[in-house]
Amino acid sequence: MDDFGQFLFLAAGAVGLFAYLSVAHWVNAQTAERQARERFGVLKKIAEQPSESAKLVLDLLREEEARARELELKKEWKSRRDGMQAGTLMIALGLGLAAMFAIVSSRQNWVIGLIPIFVGIVIFVFAALNRPKDTSGM
């Protein structure tokens, strides 16, 4: 009976976690939609009233969009670098684990260290091949 109580506790925690994540995602989607709608409204008003101030607002919007693209590119490069660091860390962890098991154990337990080594290699290769796309042509 004690195992069932523990199961209910973990199940309630999992349900709570995923409920929170779904609400957080929904709120972010609503915010992005609202921002796009407001931006479209501004562009529509500018198109209806062409003047010198409209040109200034359009220039400001273009600068803001360029900054957003640059920030997105920096995020992609940081994500790539972080993935390569994570892969390197996993490889080092696997080497240390394999060395520890080779020294401590008289059996062939060092092979257990190959698991994090191969996982690290996969993470590193995926991060290395994931180059950010050049969005300067847009």
Per domain, the residue ranges of the chain are 72-138
66-81 per-residue burial string, b: 16 or more CB within 10 A, e: under 16: eeeeeeeeeeeeeebe
Give per-residue pLDDT as tens, 65-78.
Answer: 899 899 989 999 99
Cα(58)–Cα(66) distance, rounded to whole angstroms? Answer: 12
Cα(44)–Cα(40) distance, rounded to whole angstroms? Answer: 6
**How does residue 53 score in pLDDT terms, banded at 50, 70 and 90?**
confident
User: What does the radius of gyration of the chain's CA atoms come to, in whole angstroms?
Assistant: 26
**How does residue 138 score in pLDDT terms, banded at 50, 70 and 90?**
very low
State the pTM of this model.
0.57
